[in-house]
Amino acid sequence: MIQVYTSSVIDASADAVWAKIRDFNALPQWHPAIADSRIENNQASDRVGCIRYFHLRDGGLIRERLLALSDYDFTCTYSILESPMGVDNYVATIKLTPITDGGRCFAEWSAEFDCPPQREAELSNSIGQGVFQAGFDALKRHFSTRR
């Protein structure tokens, strides 16, 4: 089981960042790698169990199921059902925690998955940096230019 962990500090309150990311169907609105997204079967995007169906900017199709959503803990957990990445048993969690000294928040994005040993390094990097860090960087940019 491979674990990837990326964390960052975003210069906005956890409430504000959560408002941006809690919508399971909103990835294209904030993540630069995502081209489009829809929720299958017209379900609400905060209904636990719903499936998002989206394309990466490079064309790849990914389907992910919402496993857990907590407005209390600012946590969202999901699994990959289908993707071109070549990972198995992929479960990821994005979590925000308020930082009480200053209106900032601590953002964590982690994943666990299985893959062939020779692809561990490449996938850890593409997920940890290419997906998670790139998402945090986009959020940081968003909340710094809004002022």
Partner 1 sequence: MALQKVVRSTVIDAPIERVWAVLRDFNSHDRWHEVVDHSEIEDGKPSDRVGCVRNFTLQDGNHIREMLLSLSDKDYVSTYTIIEATVPLQRYVATITLKPVTDGQRTFWHWASSFATPPGMEADLRNMVAQGVYEAGFANLKRHLQLGSNAGRSHLRPTSTKPVLQASPVVAQTIKVREYGDAVQLRAESSEVPPPGVGEVRIRQTAIGVNYLDIYLRKGWIPELLPLPGTPGMEAAGEVIDVGPDVTSLLPGDRVAYMGPAPGSYTSVRNVPVAWTVRLGAGIDDGTAAASLLKGITADYLLRDLGRVKAGTRLLVHAAAGGVGTLVCAWARNMGALVMGTVSSEAKARIARDNGCQHVIVTSDYTFSAAVHHISQGADVIIDGLGDAAREENFAALAPCGHWISLGQASGPLQPISPDWLVGKSVSFSRPVAFAYVATHAVLNQRAERVWQAFRDGILLPVQTEQFALKEAATAHARLESRQSTGSLVLLPG
- List interacting residues with partner 1 (CB under 8 A): 5-9, 97-101, 104, 106, 108, 125, 128-129, 133, 136
Rounded-to-integer distance, Cα 13 and Cα 116, Å = 39
Tokens of 28: 């294209």
Rounded-to-integer distance, Cα 73 and Cα 133, Å = 21
- Cβ closer to partner 1: 6 or 37? 6
DSSP classification of residue 129? I
Question: Shortest approach of partner 1 to residue 137 CB, angstroms?
Answer: 8
Rounded-to-integer distance, Cα 94 and Cα 121, Å = 21
Question: Shortest approach of partner 1 to residue 98 CB, angstroms?
Answer: 7
Question: Shortest approach of partner 1 to residue 85 CB, angstroms?
Answer: 19
- Cβ closer to partner 1: 17 or 50? 17
Rounded-to-integer distance, Cα 8 and Cα 57, Å = 24
- Cβ closer to partner 1: 89 or 129? 129
Query: Which residue reads 């909103």 in tokens?
Result: 26
Backbone region of residue 74 per phi and psi (left: phi > 0; alpha: psi in -120 to 50; beta: other values): left
- Cβ closer to partner 1: 51 or 105? 105
Question: Shortest approach of partner 1 to residue 9 CB, angstroms?
Answer: 6
- Residues in a beta bridge with 8: 107
